[in-house]
Chains A and B, each alone.
Chain A
Amino acid sequence: MTRVPAVLAVLCLAGALTLHAAQDRWFPRAPENYPAILYVRSPDTMRRLALEYDGITADLYWIRALQAFGRERLQPPAAARRYELLYPLLDLTTTLDPYFSIAYRFGAIFLGEPYPGGPGRPDLAIALLEKGLKQQPHRWQYMQDLGFVYYWHLQNYKSAAAWFQRASQQPGAPNWMRPLAAVTLTEGGQRRSARALWRQIAQSDQAWLRDTAAHRLAQLDALDAIDQIQARVDAFHRARPAERVTWPALIAGGWLRGTPVDPAGTPFTVDPATGHVAVSRDSALWPMPGDKPEAPR
């Protein structure tokens, strides 16, 4: 007799599953597109609410920060990307777990990234790293990252060199840090020093940092390529001032062998009137260093 209710229970469950699947087909759910919400913004309040589980709560906020950044970055180019939750999430993460070094380091990279690839907030990247330094004043990696934000995003080579110098004086700092400070001071803004900087970052143990370095090195290669192409375009422009500058015209005239492409495989653009060569906005390398993209968010 006990078998009957068991069989009936299985049948009922199977019926519910079938009806559930059918409902999904008959009445498909509208895609949910609610704006992301951060219910608790105060790090101190969250630290108290987390009780003794602040470590695991920090991990959850870190995962949320990664997802929030990735989701916005993967939006179609035309969509307005909103990064307004990124810093609050990183602030919560690092308050809950003050030693979470990856949250400071990756967080600074995310925050400094120019819009639309990131929020374009090097000021917040600096604030985050300085918060980390308050917790661990001898962490040379944070100083290196600070120098890096000043160098790359703010083009403030003096401050960058000062941070590299400070980093080189910390226990455990690699021996290439001191020459890097010197090179930054003497060759600030030059591609050679930038390339040296990124090559060091490319040796990081973190895959994300290595990917970022590869991206930046590709941008520097693109800048080198633009210099060479620009020289030929300028020569063409001088030789035929009345003619519009286009790739087919340059190829037909024998100035170029084919349409030049950047290291990401996207053709460079050329302004037909001025002959200015640039990386296309469709390229994975855009925006380039020094480009002035749209207003940061």
Chain B
Amino acid sequence: MPAARSVAVAAFRESVRDKVFYNLLLFAVLLIGASLLIGQLTAGQDVKIIKDLGLSATSLFGLFIAIFVGISLVSKEVDKRSVYPLLAKPVRRTDLIVGKYLGLLITLAVNVAVMAVALYGVLFFLSRGVPANVQQAWDAPALDPALLTAILLIYVELAVVTAVAMFFSSFSSPMLSAIFTLGVYVIGQFTADLNGFDQIVHARGAIALAKACYYVLPDLSRFDVKIAVVHGQAVSAAYVGTSIAYGAIYIAALVLAASAIFSRRDFK
């Protein structure tokens, strides 16, 4: 799909032009500022808190990009009417959707990678000079490679949220798409509660609806291993592998659905 590749590269360049990466500056200031202040506020938990802060900020900043850039991927082309000359070229509508999605994935990958490097950098400086006996008492080493597992799953989660945003924006207005995506993101954190709904209510209809939501909506809580990783708890390769596979299949379903809807859309 060379057309999709061209669209992806263009979408990535567009995000660079739109100064999406300015958030990296804010991330760096937040992390460095926190590393200077944290020692004054906590009782020797600097490394743990910086890990929590770094992973949470990576997830939160990525979430904002995924939602707000994700919903504008398609709608901006339609609103600015640049979709007409684009579709007049030998570019299929599916290529446009897939390309736009891949472009934002590249943006998110660069974003998450730079944040990961910054997090490791701050952790390196924070742990420098700390006596070995103190470091041994930490749940996990400061430069723990397992942090990358948490970062990888954050990225997969962001990829799913981006796919959700693009799916909604393929048929809805940007405002509604943002609300729907945010709603799916929040519900995606509570899927375990949906699964246990039968313990709260007895109405069969409500239980069936909750079960349907449990299986249909993305289970985003599966991608959250931040606390486990920060405390040095083992996250098995099988868990990571199945979570990534689940995310990939869900993304494929959403991108295909968005392509199908966008292909039928009438731009007259």
Are A51 and B227 in touch, CB under 8 angstroms? no
Are A205 and B133 in touch, CB under 8 angstroms? yes
Smallest CB gap from A63: residue in B: B41
- B81 beta carbon closer than 8 Å to chain A: no
Smallest CB gap from B233: residue in A: A99
Are B43 and A106 in touch, CB under 8 angstroms? yes
Are B42 and A63 in touch, CB under 8 angstroms? yes
Are B220 and A52 in touch, CB under 8 angstroms? yes
- B139 beta carbon closer than 8 Å to chain A: yes
Please name all residues of chain A whose beta carbon is closer than 8 Å to the beta carbon of B189 when the two chains form the complex: 51-52
Are B226 and A52 in touch, CB under 8 angstroms? yes
Are A56 and B43 in touch, CB under 8 angstroms? no
- A72 beta carbon closer than 8 Å to chain B: no
Are B224 and A205 in touch, CB under 8 angstroms? no
Smallest CB gap from A59: residue in B: B49
A55 contact from B44, B193, B220, B227, Cβ within 8 A: B227
Are A56 and B52 in touch, CB under 8 angstroms? yes
Please name all residues of chain B whose beta carbon is closer than 8 Å to the beta carbon of A48 when the two chains form the complex: 190, 193
Are B45 and A59 in touch, CB under 8 angstroms? yes
Please name all residues of chain B whose beta carbon is closer than 8 Å to the beta carbon of A98 when the two chains form the complex: 227
Please name all residues of chain A whose beta carbon is closer than 8 Å to the beta carbon of B44 when the two chains form the complex: 102, 206-208
- A176 beta carbon closer than 8 Å to chain B: no
Please name all residues of chain A whose beta carbon is closer than 8 Å to the beta carbon of B10 when the two chains form the complex: none
- B200 beta carbon closer than 8 Å to chain A: no
Are B43 and A66 in touch, CB under 8 angstroms? yes
- B15 beta carbon closer than 8 Å to chain A: no
Which residues of B does A touch, CB under 8 Å?
A: 41-45, 48-49, 52-53, 55-56, 59-60, 133-134, 136-137, 139, 186, 189-190, 193, 220-221, 224, 226-228, 230-231, 233
Q: Could you write out 12 A-B pairs with CB less than 8 Å apart?
A: A48-B190, A52-B220, A52-B224, A52-B226, A53-B56, A55-B52, A58-B52, A59-B45, A67-B41, A205-B133, A205-B137, A207-B44
Other contacts beyond A99-B228, A207-B44: 10, CB < 8 A: A48-B193, A53-B59, A55-B55, A55-B227, A55-B230, A59-B42, A59-B52, A66-B42, A66-B43, A205-B136
